Amino acid sequence: MPTNKNASIRYQALDRCFQNRNKRFFIEDLIDACNEALYEFNGLRKGTGERSSVKRRQIFDDIRYMESKAGWQIPLERKREGKRIYYRYKDPNFSIKMQPLTKREAEQLNATIQAISRYRDLPSYGWVEEIIANLENRFDIKDKKTNVVGFEKNDRLKGIWNLTKILDATSSRIVLKVKYRSYNEHSQEQNIIFHPYYVRQYNNRWFVFGLREDKNRISNLALDRIIDFEKLEDVPYHRNREIDFEHYFDDIVGITHPNGVEKEHIVLKATKNRFPYIVSKPIIQGYLYWSLYSDLLKKFNSYTSTGTTILHLYQNVFENMPLVVPSKSEQEEISDYLDRKTKVIDASISKAQHQVELLQDYKQSLITEVVTGKRKVF
């Protein structure tokens, strides 16, 4: 069966031509029909302003494939008109769309249904059940077996009801007014004008990236911290011209790329016996971050360093540092737990720092008022 989109589009275009008894389709007409179908799907050729161009030889190859057992064994007849030949089905009711699925296609469709079934239980994704039922009934592939594919999910995740609407606003380029409560800003609600650009899942949580008007920079909002939001369809949308999100996460642990921080090359060392185990069992980024952030690295470095009180992480030190690699689920539990707890602690620290700043301002104001005589001392 077709191995790429362009081939599939050509086969469907040829199928429509062969069915049509109101027109005679010579090879030039078939080429034009395929080019037109590809143009409607792909548009102009990238950077050239030209239409996609199908060659004469490609059409003959496509016809041979459609007539073969690997294709649909189409009942094609060739009618001569003078020195030219036109093509049509012997049976005008025949169509490749009416043919039963091959065993391989049925297996692939079954795998697809199992993959999208992961969304069945999510709020706002009730339409998935309808799509699955439609596919199963239409192609008569309803699976009588139990599900054999399992996906990770966070049943306690808050804010998942926002996901569908956030995705819709992002793809439709609609500005949002978001009511948001961050861990790090004294737990106060904020009203943020937000231009959504990209939605990403990390560690079983969802985040939306976009332009925050109050900070005039691109940042992310956690969906489980969004209290409510509304669409501002009359507000002009500022398009993303700064970040390529397809590669933004290639060299970072987590979802945030700190400004002004240089990329570091990290090398992990493993024994010969443990290496295959580590390769087949990926390290969760969050777990790696907390491992490097822990005192274990400092203590190990202190044992191996000499003659300096400044902590350096040299490559030879890192290569010999022991690293515990538990199961993936344990890594995620550790990472999630530390994420939650440290955010609460960071919020308390931030609040305390804010109170210290207020006291320092009060202290400075008090000194100034007393020495200038604005305040009397009793």
10 shares its domain with 75: yes
Instruction: Identify whether 336 is part of a domain.
Output: no
Q: What is the mean pLDDT of each run of 10 residues along the chain (378 residues)?
A: 72 93 94 89 52 82 91 92 93 84 69 66 58 64 56 61 84 92 73 94 86 92 90 93 86 77 74 65 66 65 52 53 69 81 80 81 79 72
Between CA 348 and CA 358, with CA 353 as vertex, the angle to 5 degrees is: 125
- Could you tell me the strand order of the sheet in which 84-89 lies? 25-26, 84-89, 76-81
* Last residue of one domain, picked from the residues 325, 349, 367: 325
CA distance 100 to 106: 9
What is the model's pLDDT at position 321? 60
318 shares its domain with 283: yes
Instruction: Count up the domains in the chain and report the number.
Output: 4
Instruction: Identify whether 84 is part of a domain.
Output: yes
Instruction: Identify whether 300 is part of a domain.
Output: yes
Instruction: Show the tokens assigned to 138.
Output: 């239409």
What is the model's pLDDT at position 59? 94
92 shares its domain with 9: yes
Instruction: Identify whether 297 is part of a domain.
Output: yes
- Range of 51's domain? 5-98
What is the model's pLDDT at position 64? 93
289 shares its domain with 204: no
What is the model's pLDDT at position 148? 57
164 shares its domain with 131: no
Domain holding 32: CATH number?
Answer: 1.10.10.10
pTM confidence score:
0.44
227 shares its domain with 293: no
What are residue 15's phi and psi, to 5 degrees? -60, -45
* Last residue of one domain, picked from the residues 232, 263, 291: 232
What is the model's pLDDT at position 344? 81
Instruction: Identify whether 151 is part of a domain.
Output: no
What is the model's pLDDT at position 204? 73
Side-chain-facing half-sphere of 5: CA atoms under 13 Å: 6
Domain holding 198: CATH number?
Answer: 2.30.30
Instruction: Show the tokens assigned to 44.
Output: 């102009």
39 shares its domain with 111: no
What is the model's pLDDT at position 149? 55
CA distance 220 to 245: 12
290 shares its domain with 307: yes
Instruction: Identify whether 210 is part of a domain.
Output: yes
134 shares its domain with 168: no
Instruction: Identify whether 341 is part of a domain.
Output: no
- Could you tell me the strand order of the sheet in which 175-181 lies? 217-222, 205-212, 189-202, 175-181, 226-232
What is the model's pLDDT at position 72? 87
Instruction: Identify whether 309 is part of a domain.
Output: yes
